[in-house]
Structure 1
Amino acid sequence: MASKSSSIVKRQTDEELLASLGYKQEFKRAFAPLEVFGIAFSIIGLLPSIASVLFYGIPNGGGPAMVWGWAIASFFILMVGMSMAELASAAPTSGGLYFWTFSFSSPRWRRLLCWLVGYANTIGSIASVASIDWGCAVQVMAAANIGSNENFEATPGQTFGVYAAIIVTHIAVCCLGTTVLARLQTLYVILNVLLCLVVIIALPVATPAEFKNTAKFALWDFSNCTTTSFPAWLSAKIRLLKVNGWPDGYAFILSFLAPLWTIASFDSSVHISEEASNAATAVPWAIVLAIFIAGVLGWAINISFAFCMGTDLAALYASPQPMAQIFFNSFGRTGTLALWAFVVIVHYTRTPVNTVFFDGLLALVLGLLVFAGDQAINALFAISVVGLYIAYAIPIAARFMGKNTFQPGPFSLGIFSFPVAVIAVLFMLLMSIVFCFPTSPNTTVQDMNYTVVVLGGVMVLSVVWYYLPKYGGVHWFTGPVANIDTHAVHESEAFNHEKKSSSGI
């Protein structure tokens, strides 16, 4: 009975807080705190995500980049997450980044910044869906390659077909009701954690001695792979994956794309704020815990790979799927197929809940980049990170750059709020610049970074569309539209407070 009363009080508190932000309760609050965490953690999809971007870590420093690059990047990602968590606690609304930008920016710039955040978040989310499902399609084809004793080699058209099927199925899954999706999150968390633990424990045990590496090689032998690192017969196959000329320090920073793409889209829990119970506490802690746990487990997985991937990194780069090759070397064909099936399944469960229909259709269009070459389709990973980081950085910075009515929620960093936000914004700015550069200083048409083309094109067009004479957003866009009178809500709350006080409650 007490639990039921507590639930009613929390629901009323959630509704009152939402009303103070200008919105009435329209969704059923079906997500418990664990399920809110499940949304953020399952969309990270740790092991299959690492599989999708392992080719960024290996050629940009080898084992040390995988291990220490992951650890360093995870620290900065946590800074970003904590800054976002403060905003989510203060204003838990599904509008999230869009709403915060408008609320905390100066009146002069709030509409334009809100407009840009909307477009950056949209292209970042679409690229996230595209890169998630592309990674899943590649993993399906890797399983087919292993199952055929490496006789089957997928064409770009075949991989795109699998990719399209996965996107359509994802759209269908998101037609399920909120309650069903909420309950699935617990299963996703369990599957993710168990799969990570299996790899961390079983891989070192099963790996033959010939593929086990020394601590020096795994942790300290920085391999900045250049053209001279490869035999002539391998050069063509790995040309698009090598660093080829960047200094070691810059190459090491390039390896950050692996953890940055993996531990991303944690704002997904923000978008279900209006469907979560005790949202002001559950949502921020879901963000922070998802990042922290993913950072620790991911670091352990990368250590396991660094010690068990062998020293022939050139052969690993040339394989269709580096992680599948590591498993094949350690577990053999049968063991790899069994484990890889779970990798694909867990990757498949990384279902973004918000705007998935629109995202899914445009993700199909982005998938056509595969026909422009490997480098073009691989740009999906950078586009998703840079797009999301633009959308993350603006509201975090806006909170401190002008006069606003920010009131901390239950989750607050106190005096550390400002320094953490500065670190987060500067890190996102640096990474956004780095990931727009090509993978080689000697760039050709095939080697160019399509992040600039796709993301830059979208952002430039969004600005043009905003200022377009007569029809542009500057003439009609007003930002988030409240659906209740917040002034009336505040008066009602004040009246209820006075009534309780006079009654001695």
Structure 2
Amino acid sequence: MAAPSASAISKLHPQPGADEATLAKLGYKQEFRREFTPLEVAGLAFSIVGVVPSIASVLFYIIPNGGPVAMVWGWVFACPFIMCTGLALAELASAAPTSGGLYYWTYSLASPRCRNFLSWIVGYSNTIEMITGVSSINWACAIQITAAISITSSDQTYTTTNQQLYLCFIIIIALPIATPPDYRNSANFALGEFTNLAGWPSVFAFILSLMAPLYTIAGYDTSVHMSEEASNAAMAIPWAIVSSIAVSAVLGCGVNISLAFCMGTDVGSLLNSPIGQPMAQILFNSLGQQKALALWCLIIIAEYIMASNFLLVGSRQTFAFARDGAIPFSRYLYRINRYTGTPVNTVWFEIICSLAIGLLSFMSTEAIDAVFTIAITASYIAYITPITNRFVFQNDFKPGPFYLGKLSFPVSVIAVTWMAFMILVFFFPAIPQTTAQEMNYTVVVLGGFMFLAISWYYFPVYGGVHWYTGPISNYTPAIRGENKDEDSISERKEHDAEIYVSVVDV
């Protein structure tokens, strides 16, 4: 066997400082410790997807809008489009691996006439995505805890692990074995029964059910925000995006098929279950109280870990946006804690904002449910813009080591078209006839956020239009004198650049 070439070795194990040099070309100095290996980044991306907990959180979207057919074939239908989106983002992540990610790419690829505004919008959309993502996952976790209480307290009606694969194994393998005959479904039912309980036309009901796979396999940009803490980021980040989508697609399909075969034929009873969660009721019917409770506790812990990981990556995105002086209190948020080496201030910022979003629960169930779709629609706005900018505007885009070649354009067209269509779909209510209380509040809440962001940009005197100029470099190249002894003192001298922040941090 021939020995690997030096170039092959360097791609797998880049020389020390290669990531820092790449980051310097993007205008930033290295401020975090690069402690994440490519495998760990991929694991983080997969854990944030959280196949089983996410499916458990949104199963109530699928059952009334297609039932078993939507669970199985809706998943199969949506996954290729999800992969196209992931591939388009992976190329951008490979070309410019920075924690700012989406808004940085938007600025660098857009026309000078509109790049400041587009970068601003994408940055705030991405921030909203992260905040509502944390809120939605924690809200789902809270609901699952109440379901666990229901399992405990009713005759019909709490693991410490982050091993998502273990949960998938249990659902795919153990659930069909343990399910009593009364709840086992035939292949005709599991793969061909279409249940429409919402009242929309069947085709549109099926489209609405796609909320489930799109929410489950989402947040592809989460690994992007860890770019400045990952080794070999130009390859590790794109492969984390692609691999997490691929693995989640396969395992999620298996989970949905298993559930479809073991859910019984009375799908209406799952929606109206005293437990309050369709998957929890399926587990209760199949496994009994104690085993269902034990498995549900695993799901709760996995959901909590998902929220913690999402908070982790959200804090990095906020840190990057504050580094460029784009959000209120930037001078306080752009700080690395000297003891932890992490941006503790942005972690607390994300927590406080997520708690504020949670106050929607006091308005109505429909209002708090909107955070699930807001997390997707806000992310799609942030994804569409840089992908489109790459091909619409004249720019000097230089592909990174992860590159699709001739497939780049068609893959991007498919991704953008798909996301634009699904944004419109997610503005529709769950049922055709609704009251003001039952309406879909996604457009209201998301529209309110975007209105505030745009108003802050165009605010007289103090608005971002007067001072926001996109990403600001905080890296200064090596300072070299004519004396060789001076050169030997330091290979590179870095200093903090002054970041222009608004006159008022409010």
TM-score normalised to the size of structure 2?
A: 0.83
1:113-192 paired onto structure 2 within 5 Å:
113-149=118-154, 188=162, 191-192=163-164
1:362-373 paired onto structure 2 within 5 Å:
362-373=353-364
Tell me: higher relative CO, structure 1 or 2? Use CA pairs within 8 A at least 6 residues apart: 1
Which secondary structure state, in structure 2, belongs to the residue aligned with residue 11 of structure 1?
Answer: coil
Q: What amino acid is aligned across from residue 71 of structure 2 in structure 1?
A: M
Distance 1:127 1:272, change over 3 A: same
Conservation of the 8 A alpha-carbon contact between 1:66 and 1:306: yes
Q: CA deviation at 1:359?
A: 2.0
Q: What amino acid is aligned across from residue 145 of structure 1 in structure 2?
A: S
Q: How many residues align?
A: 436
Residue 301 of structure 2 aligns with which residue?
345
Structure 1: how far apart are the matches of 2:254 and 2:478? 51
Q: Deviations over 1:308-349 (max 9, x none)?
A: 000111110012011110000000001101111111111111
- Give the counterpart of 2:232 among 272, 278, 286: 278
Conservation of the 8 A alpha-carbon contact between 2:14 and 2:232: no
Structure 2: how far apart are the matches of 1:280 and 1:222? 44
Residue 398 of structure 1 aligns with which residue?
389
Higher share of residues assigned helix: 1
Structure 2: how far apart are the matches of 1:446 and 1:306? 32
Q: Deviations over 1:250-296 (max 9, x none)?
A: 11010011111111112111111010000000000000000110011
Conservation of the 8 A alpha-carbon contact between 1:51 and 1:323: yes
Structure 2: how far apart are the matches of 1:334 and 1:462? 49
The 4+ residue runs of structure 1 with deviation greater than 4 A are 4-9, 485-489
Conservation of the 8 A alpha-carbon contact between 2:13 and 2:232: no
Distance 1:208 1:398, change over 3 A: same
Structure 1: how far apart are the matches of 2:249 and 2:431? 28
- Give the counterpart of 1:218 among 187, 190, 207: 190
Structure 2: how far apart are the matches of 1:34 and 1:150? 44
Is 1:303 matched up with 2:275?
no
Distance 1:121 1:150, change over 3 A: farther
- Give the counterpart of 2:468 among 463, 477, 484: 477
Residue 374 of structure 1 aligns with which residue?
365
Structure 1: how far apart are the matches of 2:44 and 2:220? 8
Q: CA deviation at 1:148?
A: 1.1
Residue 258 of structure 1 aligns with which residue?
212
- Per mean C-alpha deviation after superposition, the further-off stretch among 251-260 and 456-465 is 456-465
Q: CA deviation at 1:304?
A: 0.4
Q: What amino acid is aligned across from residue 279 of structure 2 in structure 1?
A: M
Q: CA deviation at 1:474?
A: 0.8
Q: What amino acid is aligned across from residue 446 of structure 1 in structure 2?
A: Q
Q: CA deviation at 1:441?
A: 2.4
Conservation of the 8 A alpha-carbon contact between 1:212 and 1:310: yes
Structure 2: how far apart are the matches of 1:11 and 1:100? 25
- Give the counterpart of 2:178 among 183, 191, 206: 206
Structure 1: how far apart are the matches of 2:11 and 2:220? 28
Q: What amino acid is aligned across from residue 215 of structure 2 in structure 1?
A: W
Q: CA deviation at 1:468?
A: 2.0
Structure 2: how far apart are the matches of 1:193 and 1:392? 28
Ranges in structure 1 where 5+ consecutive residues have no aligned partner: 153-161, 163-183, 226-242, 490-505
Structure 1: how far apart are the matches of 2:299 and 2:430? 28
Is 1:45 matched up with 2:50?
yes
Conservation of the 8 A alpha-carbon contact between 1:10 and 1:277: no
- Give the counterpart of 1:57 among 51, 55, 62: 62
Structure 1: how far apart are the matches of 2:419 and 2:478? 37
